[in-house]
A and B are shown apart, each in its own frame.
Chain A
């Protein structure tokens, strides 16, 4: 009998796990995929919203502003990439002025610091590639960008270092109330815990509806994106949103913490909870809409396109509460869920703690060091590192200059990378302009060597996603 099972190792589940590890409790995170950060958390805008958008008085608004406020300190504590670059919501038609003012006022009420409306002249000086149609913009200096993988892995690793265990490839199929808690039927056998946390992303409604009388509906809402090469990374300096209007919400254009440019998303409701396929229509829509607020966008420098699903709850509100005795929901975590993650973690962990009333964990360590980035070192420091461990002298991913040392570190972390995509999300190997063309055979080789598995057993992303299906002439 465990104290807590958290279902889902996305950013919410990991944030809750990390907050719960401040207490003495036996905690297990179960995840249906092979790694942390495989669902909504891995495919989103990578934005820390300042918090002016969510409706004043909503839980979304409160947790967004808290999360955004805490993110800078958390990024230092847990060593993940975050930059406060500020955001702009651009108004393209003079008649939209009332809506821009309303957004400003909503933000002020939500407690977002430093908000102001900038007029065209100042806007152009802040953002030279802004559309010629741009009239004014709402400027939020606390808007930021984050590496969503970096944040999620940082939370997971810190949780693990403080005693939380992770179990992957484990799909929860049914929940049953017992006298002392919950019994879970999973693809890896039964598990029991006193408290269950439902952080299952787009699947949260199927779990909730099994045990709670009031059903909820999570509508998977697909967002298609383009990611552009570093060469385009400074096309804008801030996260540039379009002011939502009658014609819809528009798409954002933003630098990423790694110097790329991200453009998207669409918002297309899909019936299926795993339909992350991009479509021609979706990509065309991003292409069309992206030019509204930013001019001369170099979409020819696209290095990849992808789609993710938002866990849109029909009431458009975060559901964080004890919905049944010992069953804590963390559902409907759509945008601004990434921004709010630190606050979501604290709130949900607080609910769990109020049920379990555990002792504080005297061994809790709040800090974690990320995978060493040798590019941040001086030449003598870097040479000392290479002398200590020559693997840091071998570049595996040429596009992002990722060394073997970083890849080996990623594999041996807890929880560590077991697949090509696991290495990619942790180190950026394969994330560059050639998209793993040169380095994926080398990463495969390193993964096989370090894990003791045969190369044929190494996958792109778990399950049946093997990269190699046989040996030459083995069927002849």
Chain B
């Protein structure tokens, strides 16, 4: 069994940033395992711009953004293996992986960073009735076909779901010569970023139908059309059906963190995010196993993925350098008043005294004129007014390091009246 100090599972934006930060923090033996044929992950198919505004103060395309980190990985001489699938991970941090050159091999590093990203919710999981013809794709699959392989999956394309990939693909399909008559969204609000609705739908005259879903799919071999209907209280409203002839249906109905390895290893999973529960070091319930990026919770901006992953890389470095310290007691972070989840979901006493703690979270509905309130016991640590909060936009608060109030047992983050 080869010896590495740190193995990073996934060579997308999270894995790359984690590797760079860990090396800069002094970890010598790092290995990145990537299942695809190149580093960069999903960014390679995101050829639109808008990446890196926070990190580089520039508007980059996805591949350009990835390349900045790939270059750092190469400059720092961090080794990586491509075409390598991790088949299993156990709680002793034994990794079993496989590729055509090395065959099946095992690694037992001191620390592991999980950076496997997420996958799209498929049609089957949405329980849309109808036939099962060709022409139904998740938006990301279509994005790969169009942007990386040059194939147009169809010419008349309805999109269900207004997640960011769906919005981006509405514009892309239009630019490549297809017609997008409508984007339908089950919820009364979009799941994507405001800027994407403006730049990808409004600018191209593509209507967004909120509170609408697909209630029937027609076509035996290739898709022939879909029926949309308005939705109230989670059920389609009879009489509101509208038929759209189309040869393609793209689905952008949510992303699911890919945590099969995490579950298999026995890490505690947060049922809200479907990612592992982590403390402020981004350490899972298994000591020495860290997580960052979309495997932890789905992000909307890659800049935050990079920041989060760098923090995980530094935590892993500290863990390795301190010789596998015992897990410290941590205070749970509870959500209230419209906050759906927080990452981290627990904060160690020690970090509150010595360093700033970043808390990322999402809300469960659209809110206006609310105050984000962070409470430690009965004390208010932080208040921040916000004009608009939406489920599609991740929020961040930073708790400045300082003395911890005496005797508190929990931390609470919520929305209150402004």
Contacts and interface: CB of A to CB of B under 8 A. Distances in A.
A469 B247 contact: yes
6 contacts: A227-B124, A280-B236, A283-B127, A303-B122, A383-B104, A441-B145
A73 interface: no
Interface stretch (A110-118, A210-218, A431-439): A431-439
B41 to A, nearest CB: 12
Interface stretch (A60-68, A137-145, A454-462): A454-462
Interface string B83-102: 10101000000000011111
Interface of B is mostly: mixed
B101 A393 contact: yes
A393 B100 contact: yes
A382 interface: yes
A305 B140 contact: no
Nearest to B215: A280
Interface stretch (B53-61, B216-224, B365-373): B216-224
A90 B104 CA distance: 45
Top 3 A-B residue pairs of the complex, sorted by shortest distance between their CB atoms: A304-B124, A390-B100, A393-B100
Contacts of B144: 441
Contacts of A282: 129
Contact of A459 (B134, B140, B151, B152): B134
A305 B152 contact: no
A32 B268 CA distance: 50
B407 interface: no
Interface of B: 35, 83, 85, 87, 98-104, 119-120, 122-125, 127, 129-135, 137-138, 140-141, 144-146, 149-155, 176-177, 215-218, 220-222, 236, 247-248, 263
A440 interface: yes
A276 B129 CA distance: 10
Contact of B104 (A305, A386, A398): A386
B86 to A, nearest CB: 10
B133 A460 contact: yes
A401 interface: yes
Given A302-B125, A386-B98, A435-B123, A462 B150 contact: no
Contacts of B176: 472-473, 476
Given A398-B35, A401-B87, A440-B141, A471 B98 contact: no
A435 B124 contact: yes
B100 A391 contact: yes
Contacts of B218: 277
A139 B399 CA distance: 60
A57 interface: no
A280 B103 contact: no
B152 A468 contact: yes
A466 B223 CA distance: 10
B415 to A, nearest CB: 27
A441 B99 CA distance: 20
Contacts of A392: 100
A467 B134 contact: yes
B129 A395 contact: no
B99 A276 contact: no
A393 B103 contact: yes
A459 B135 CA distance: 10
A471 B152 contact: yes
Contacts of A306: 132
B122 A468 contact: no
A468 B125 contact: no
A376 interface: no
